[in-house]
Amino acid sequence: MRTCLVVDDSSVIRKVARRILEGLDFQITEAEDGAKALEACKRGMPDAVLLDWNMPVMDGYEFLGNLRRMPGGDQPKVVFCTTENDVAHIARALHAGANEYIMKPFDRDIVTAKFQEVGLI
Amino acid sequence: MTPLDYEYLRKLLKERSGLDLSADKQYLVESRLVPLARRSNLAGIPELVQKMKGGAEPLTSEVVEAMTTNETFFFRDKIPFDHLKELLPGLAQARAARRSLRIWCAASSTGQEPYSIAMLLKEMTALFTGWRIEIVATDLSQAVLEKSRAGLFSQFEVQRGLPIQMLVKYFVQKGELWQLNADIRGMVQHRQLNLLQDLSHLGTFDVIFCRNVLIYFDQDTKAGIFAKIARMLEPDGVLALGAAESVVGITNVFRPYPDRRGLYQPSSAVARAGAAPHVLKAVASAAR
């Protein structure tokens, strides 16, 4: 079973994402900010990270930079999932190593399409 | 809705659009036509039917449009587009002398399919520099064609099937919406067309996408449309059908393309391959 780390400071969003991704046969772990997500990645690299941008302690953009510099940190497919829905943010995310980008609000169809796009479904 | 009203609508929809509604689809008719009746200041479907019987042609057209399904998204099912991408170098080789390519999207709905093909071709610019590329998008509904022409899509629509890199590359953000760049929009010609009518004026094509529309037709109608399409496809051309569609048991004019799920080739091409194999070989070798 593939694993996905869901990183978002909103417990509601984490719950919705968990429900969708479990329905797509992913095993889910959760983190509420970038720092906790990095700790989770040190314990074990997930196959995918669903990543919010704006979070306390460490935001998603900073997390992504740190992740990609870690040993094995180039492996997880990173899908941003954020309310930052302008071209400038999308371009920054792609430049930093994001594989896909979801603009909130999202639903099951969008998550499925994006995870298909990165080859995990 | 009375059984007589339902029968009237079933017959009319079959004649006008080929839509083959089974006897148990009253719920579908009600869900689509009650809102239309209210917008037209009519109490319900019986009044709508009465007005149609009185010869209200614009209203009848609206009913037909409301009953057609326009579900679509960018690069829908992905595989046919991957196959097309792999087959295009062979087609380019086969068309090198005339340097032109014609692609038809029948039932193109709001444009995601023809624009997906346009973006795919744009990604292969080196192959087609200086070529005349025509992508013809047709649909029964004028309303969806107008939306397609505008090339404006919601945030929801651009997130279903469209890789994020392509969104950044080929779209401009317009408030809450995203608009395709003018050069991509300019690659697609739009025409209103009913697949039940004569199609020969469209000419012949190298690639035809006719996906997720024939499922709504009965077997005889499907066979008739396949026969017309076969006359419009070059002998070495490619037909793409929807994931739930097939020619098997309906027609012999097309055969499944070997190892290309969802793609079909004219049966005449298979017979012709022995006598004039150069074109098919070019397509096949590029496909490998």
Q: What is the mean pLDDT of chain B?
A: 90
Residues of chain B neighbouring A103 (CB-CB closer than 8 A): 155, 159
pLDDT of B287 above 60: no
As for the ipTM of the complex, it is: 0.93
Closest Cα to residue B213, out of B103, B29, B76, B86? B76
Residue A103 at interface with chain B, using a CB cutoff of 8 Å = yes
Confidence of residue B23 (pLDDT cuts 50, 70, 90): confident
Distance CA B98, CA A80 (A): 45
Residue type, B64: V
Helix (H) or strand (E) holding B133: strand B132-139
Cα B150 from Cα B179, distance rounded (Å): 8
Query: Using the beta-carbon criterion (under 8 Å), do A94 and B164 form an inter-chain contact?
Result: yes
Token pair in block for residue B36: 């239309």
Domains of chain B: 3-67 (1.10.155), 79-287 (3.40.50.150)
What is the structure's pLDDT at B273? 54
- Whether residue B69 is predicted with pLDDT greater than 80 in this model: the reply is no
Question: Is A38 within 8 Å of A67 (Cβ atoms)?
Answer: yes
Across the range B43-66, mean pLDDT stands at 90
B72 vs B110: CA distance, rounded Å: 7
User: Region B77-103: what's the mean pLDDT?
Assistant: 95
**Closest A-chain CA to B170:** A87
Residue B258 pLDDT exceeds 80: yes
Maximum CA extent, chain B: 65
Q: What is the rounded distance in angstroms from the CA atom of residue B229 to the CA atom of residue B200?
A: 9
CB B86 within 8 A of CB B120: no
Lowest-confidence region among A78-92, B116-130, B151-165, B273-287: B273-287
In 3-state terms chain B splits into helix, strand, coil percentages (rounded to 5) of 50, 20, 35
Q: What is the pLDDT of chain A when averaged over all its residues?
A: 97
Are A113 and B160 an interchain contact pair (Cβ–Cβ within 8 Å)?
Answer: yes
> Phi/psi class of residue A76: alpha, beta or left (left: φ > 0; alpha: ψ in -120 to 50)?
beta
Largest CA distance in chain A: 35
pLDDT higher than 50, residue B279: no
Q: Given an 8 Å threshold on Cβ–Cβ distance, is A85 in contact with B159?
A: no
State residue B272's pLDDT score: 54
Phi-psi region of B38 (alpha: psi -120 to 50; beta: other; left: phi over 0): alpha
Residues of B in contact with A113 (CB under 8 A): 73, 159-161
**What pLDDT sits at residue B70?**
73
- Tell me which H or E stretch contains A49: strand A48-51
Asked if A39 reaches chain B (Cβ–Cβ under 8 Å), the answer is: no
Q: Which residue has the higher pLDDT, B20 or B41?
A: B41
Domains of chain A, earliest start first: 2-117 (3.40.50.2300)
Q: Closest Cα to residue B225, out of B138, B144, B147?
A: B138
Q: Nearest to residue B150, comparing CAs of B188, B106, B107, B193?
A: B188
Task: Note the pLDDT of residue B227.
Answer: 95
Inter-chain contacts counted by CB atoms under 8 A, chains A and B: 32
Instruction: List the single best residue of B156, B159, B167 to mutate versus A (max A Cβ within 10 A).
Output: B159
A117 touches chain B (CB under 8 A): yes
Residue B182 has φ and ψ, to the nearest 5°, of -60, -35
Q: Do B168 and A86 touch (CB under 8 A)?
A: no
Residue B275 pLDDT > 50:
no
User: Span B8-16, mean pLDDT?
Assistant: 89
Alpha-carbon distances, residue A119 vs A2, A22, A89, B236, B284 (angstroms): 12, 17, 23, 32, 26
Q: What's the pLDDT tens digit per position in B113-143? A: 999 999 999 999 999 999 999 999 999 999 9
For B196-244, the pLDDT digits (tens) are 999 999 999 999 999 999 988 899 999 999 999 999 999 999 999 998 8
> What residues in chain B have their Cβ under 8 A from chain A's Cβ atoms?
73, 78, 155-156, 159-161, 163-165, 167-168, 173
Distances (CA, A) of A113 to A12, A91, A97, B73: 21, 20, 19, 10
Nearest to A90 among B73, B160, B164 (CB): B164
